Amino acid sequence: MTIDNTPVELVTLTIDDIEVQVPKGTLIIRAAEQLGVQVPRFCDHPLLDPVAACRACLVEIEGQAKPQPSCAMTVAEGMKVRTQVSSVMADEAQKGVMEFLLINHPLDCPVCDKGGECPLQNQAMTNGRGESRFDGEKREFEKPINVSDRERCVSCARCTRFADQVAGDPMIALLERGSQQQVGISDDQPFDSYFSGNTIQICPVGALTSAKYRFRSRPFDLVSVPTTCEHCASGCSLRTDIRRGNVMRRLAWDDPQVNEEWNCDKGRFAFPYVQEGRLNQPLVRGEDGLLHPASWTEAIDVAAKGLAAASGATAVLAGGRHTVEDAYAISKFARAVLGTDDVDFRSRPHSTEETQFLSSVVAGSGLGVTYADLEKAAHVVLVAFEPEDESPMIQLRLRKAVRRGRTKVTAITSHVTSGNKKLNATVIATAAGHEVSALSELALDANTIILVGERAASVTGLLTAATKKAKESGAKLAWVPRRAGDRGAVDAGLLPGLLPNGNSLTDSSAREKAADIWNVENNTLPFAAGRDFGAIVHAAVNGELKALLITSVDVEDTQHSASTLQAIENTPFVVSLEIRPSSITELANVVLPVAVVTEKSGTFIDWEGRPRNFGQAIREHNKLTDGRVLAMIADAMDVLLGQQDVAQLRAELAQFAAPTNRVDAPSHGADVPNGLTLSTWNQLIDDGALQEGEPFLAATSRNVIAGLNSKTAAAHSIAEGDLIEISTSLGSITVEAIFVDGAENTVWLPTNSGESKVRTNLGAAHGNIVTIKRGGGQ
């Protein structure tokens, strides 16, 4: 990260007779905050353009006849500002505005969601008059938009400005005029935004409420805990509000370096899974072939015996949802206890090229490209990466950068998406699988950042090309995975051939150090690189494995769901660590329930490489972490790993020094598919397992369609709106065709939405060849 050394020009002014120096361009309201003076405000928001509409923040400025809005006026040298603290003019103006704001405000406080945490309540107390002088009739509105109480609205335009400026989804607007002004949506365009929840949070009154939280709780009943979002690698800082052991809601928390004050609707609303339908007790498959509840002692014993008996033919499938501490515990368990290097977190499509890329470029590299870098970059190139769906905070940060006019975005992707339109991106429409040449042709320089997404793994040569391009041009390169635990898994060594912190398993000195830290004999550790996820599945299908340890894997993520299930069926002994029942737990011999993110402490490493620590939010449930459960199994296998609590795991991981001999960077040539290819990625709101149980969120997911170029469609006699069938040798998907502005000879499908279950029904990855035809299974 480069440090900006440009000196800041300071301006000296007085506020309430106190001299203060602030950077040129600072708004008066912000300067006053630095002195601890809180000027009342409603429309003001530090991350939105000023509107000066509510007039709550009026202050006196010497030499000006009228009070001025401090939220819209910048400081000037020698300016003399007087706030309500020292000016009758300011105080009266503010009180007057507050009185006006209250005349039409309903007396809903006792039933309003905002009651108790309401800027209007608070500021009416601090800057209002005690008694109401209004004795007329209050205005009323009908309630056509769901979950909005328009009587409560103070017309601050925060919600509309957020939607327009920050999210780029201007589907809500202020309508009508005068005292009839109100927030509304158009009749034919719903407020379909991935970020709508933020408007609820920044509304300074209870006019916008969440369908889920409405009338559910009062702020003073809630215990608030700072947490980190588990849903993607953006790394949002959240606040989780808990009542009697249950999560009531989640809010975006302020972290200027990462998510600023925003988050996405998935992070905000997708939490019912933490309390509904959980596995609460260990299960062991009995003689009758059925799973039966068992005690922890029994279950651990069965697991330990089964794994020990399979020694030499075990493998670990880890998934991408772990904290770095748990990932590390799994990585260690595989090598030190099971003695296997057949371990991989990449349940989604991957490649040996990617293994090499992650091991050589990403693992243990620490903080790399940051959000702040994105904001400063002259040029950002998105390669096989759709930020709005795959890392929404990158989308918002890029939009901010683009709106400032200093940053341009180029996207190498199959078609123009709503997301890259909001970034004003230059789209290099590229059929899936053909990205290598598109990237190679770009002229880049050192002021460029290349962001490469997870689907790059299934385009041969692309990660090689990205690495090379960055090296040649001086551009910075960052890998943006989709899952919150992906980056931590790489750092923890959950890849074949990779030890923690980027050390290579085949580097004998690194292996020795690992044995030392793990307190095991050097020769118990595997010394040849093992199999990756796909190869493990392949081996298991062929009956080559005796036992599998599976933690947090969804078969719907894997290249071909049926093969994965087949692999599990063909493996004699399977231990599953899970939070909820799944198609894998159904097939396991031992099922061990583990803690969800709210029930444990830990760290996610976001895409930047920034550790996002969080504490335990809920203590009531007594759930064990993966690390603790594995320690118990190890114990039963006579390998003493200690308690493996989070502190221990963190301390151990820190002992892994930076690698001296890195794995070589990949050097794969392009292998261009010859035929019509599948472009696919997961939409933000889809059928992901952790989004279950939230119908309001699911309702905001996008329509399930196949997107294709009109010429390609014509070549297959497909008209817009036709049902089309997309197939591979493994199966087919039938959905409606919609024309997109994109490359020919490629068809886009959402990976895991409704009818479009790409892994289950097609067994295909991004860039694979598919066939299309009109009609399908009508």
Partner 1 sequence: MVLTPILTAHWDEADSYKLEGYKRHHGYVALAKALKSDPDSIIQTVKDSGLRGRGGAGFPTGMKWGFVPQNDGKPHYLVVNADESEPGACKDIPLMLANPHALVEGVAISSYAIRANHAFIYIRGEVPHVIRRVTNAVKEAYAAGLLGQNIQGSGFNLEVVVHAGAGAYICGEETALLDSLEGHRGQPRLKPPFPAVAGLYASPTVINNAETIANIPYIIRNGADWLKQWGTEKSPGFKLFAVSGHVKRPGIYEAALGTTMRELLEHAGGMRDGHTLKFWIPGGSSVPMLTEAHLDLPLTYEDMAAAGTMLGTGTPMVFDETTSVVKAVSRWLQFYKHESCGKCTPCREGTYWISGLLKRLEKGEGQETDLEKIDELCQQIMGRSFCALGDAAATPFPGAMKHFRTEFEAGVRTAADIAFDPAATTIFSKANV
Q: Which tokens in the block code for residue 605?
A: 């490493």
Is residue 120 a contact point for ligand FES (CB under 6 A)?
no
Q: List the one residue out of 588, 582, 553 whose CA is nearest residue 569.
A: 588
- From partner 1, ligand SF4, ligand FES, none, interface partner of 71 (C-beta below 5 to 8 A by class): ligand FES
Separation CA 502–CA 364 (nearest Å): 5
Q: Are 634 and 642 in contact (CB under 8 A)?
A: no
Nearer Cβ to partner 1 (72/416): 72
CA angle 86, 87, 92 (to 5 degrees): 130
Per the rule left: phi > 0, alpha: psi between -120 and 50, beta: everything else, 210 is: beta
Of positions 41, 268, 560, 766, contacts ligand FES by CB under 6 A: 41
Least distance in angstroms from the C-beta of 619 to partner 1:
45
Q: Residue 266 binds which entry of ligand SF4, ligand FES, partner 1, none, with Cβ cut-offs from 5 to 8 Å by kind? A: ligand SF4
Measured over the CA atoms of residue 490, residue 453, residue 552 and residue 761, the dihedral's sign is negative
Question: Encoding tokens for residue 677?
Answer: 């290819």
Residue number, 101 or 436, with CB nearest to partner 1: 101
Cβ atoms 550, 584 nearer than 8 A: yes
Of ligand FES, partner 1, ligand SF4, none, which one does residue 100 interact with (CB within 5 to 8 Å by kind)? partner 1
Q: How far is the CB of 81 from ligand FES (least distance, A)?
A: 14
Range in contact with ligand FES (rule: CB under 6 A) among 38-46, 179-187, 471-479, 715-723: 38-46
Nearer to ligand FES, 94 or 340 (CB): 94
* Position among 20, 31, 42, 294 found at the interface with ligand FES (CB under 6 A): 42
Q: How far is the CB of 176 from partner 1 (least distance, A)?
A: 7
**Alpha helix locations (H) across 105-157?**
119-127
Amino acid residing at 432? A
Q: How many Å apart are CA 15 and CA 37, to the nearest integer?
A: 9
CB of 198 to ligand FES, least distance (A): 18
3-state secondary structure (DSSP) of residue 224: strand
Residue among 42 and 262 whose Cβ is closer to partner 1: 42
Between 132 and 437, name the residue whose CB sits nearer to partner 1.
132
Question: C-beta of 114: minimal distance to ligand FES in Å?
Answer: 18
Instruction: Choose the contact partner of 67 out of ligand SF4, ligand FES, partner 1, none; CB within 5 to 8 A by kind.
Output: partner 1
What is the C-alpha R_g of the chain? Answer: 28
Q: Is 584 in the site for ligand FES (CB under 6 A)?
A: no
Q: How far is the CB of 604 from ligand SF4 (least distance, A)?
A: 8
φ, ψ for residue 121, nearest 5 deg: -55, -50
| 71: contact with ligand FES by CB under 6 A | yes
Question: What's the maximum distance between 2 C-alpha atoms anywhere in the chain?
Answer: 90
| CB of 124 vs ligand FES, minimal distance in Å | 15
180 binds, among partner 1, ligand SF4, ligand FES, none (CB under 5 to 8 A by kind): partner 1
| Total residue length of the chain | 778
Q: Is 81 in the site for ligand FES (CB under 6 A)?
A: no
Name the residues that contact ligand SF4, by CB under 6 A: 153-159, 183, 203-205, 207-208, 229, 231-232, 234-236, 259, 263-264, 266-267, 392-393
Query: Which stretch, 37-45, 493-501, 502-510, 713-721, contacts ligand FES (CB under 6 A)?
Result: 37-45
| Binding at 57: pick from partner 1, ligand FES, ligand SF4, none (beta carbon under 5-8 Å per type) | ligand FES
Kindly report the number of other CB atoms within 10 A of residue 445's CB atom.
10
Quick one: which segment of 46-54, 127-135, 189-197, 246-254 binds ligand FES (CB under 6 A)?
Answer: 46-54
| CA gap 652, 450 in Å, rounded | 33
Query: Between 59 and 597, whose beta carbon lies closer to ligand FES?
Result: 59
Residue 148 phi, psi (nearest 5)? -135, 135
Contact call for residue 69 and ligand FES (CB under 6 A): yes
d(CA 271, CA 167): 22
Positions touching partner 1 (CB under 8 A) are: 50-56, 58, 65-67, 72, 92-93, 96-97, 99-101, 103-104, 133-134, 136-137, 139, 154-155, 173-181
Taking the C-alpha atoms of residue 640 and residue 626, their distance in angstroms, rounded to an integer, is 16
Residue nearer to ligand FES on the CB measure, 49 or 586: 49
Q: Output phi, psi for 183, to 5 deg.
A: -85, 130
Shortest Å distance, C-beta 46 to ligand FES? 11
For residues 395 and 423, is the Cβ–Cβ distance under 8 A? yes
Which CB, 252 or 284, lies closer to ligand SF4?
252
- Which of 438, 393, 349 lies closest to 742 in space, CA to CA? 438
Query: Least Å distance between CB 535 and ligand SF4?
Result: 30
Q: Which does 97 bind (CB under 5 to 8 A by kind): ligand SF4, ligand FES, partner 1, none?
A: partner 1
CB burial string 194-213: b at 16+ within 10 A, e below: bbbbbbbbbbbbbbbbbebb
Minimum distance from CB of 56 to ligand FES (Å)?
A: 5
Distance, in Å, from the CA atom of 766 to the CA atom of 431, rounded to the nearest integer, reads 10
Quote the least distance from Cβ 228 to ligand FES, whole Å: 31
Assigned token pair, 637: 């296998």
Q: Which residue has the tokens 């590299």?
A: 365
Residue 96 binding target from partner 1, ligand FES, ligand SF4, none, CB below 5 to 8 Å by type: partner 1
Q: By rule CB under 6 A, what count of residues binds ligand FES? A: 12
Element at 451 (helix H, strand E): strand 448-453
Report the run of H or E that residue 315 belongs to, with start and end: strand 314-317
134 binds, among partner 1, ligand FES, ligand SF4, none (CB under 5 to 8 A by kind): partner 1
3-state secondary structure (DSSP) of residue 769: strand
Binding site for ligand FES (CB under 6 A): 41-44, 52-57, 69, 71
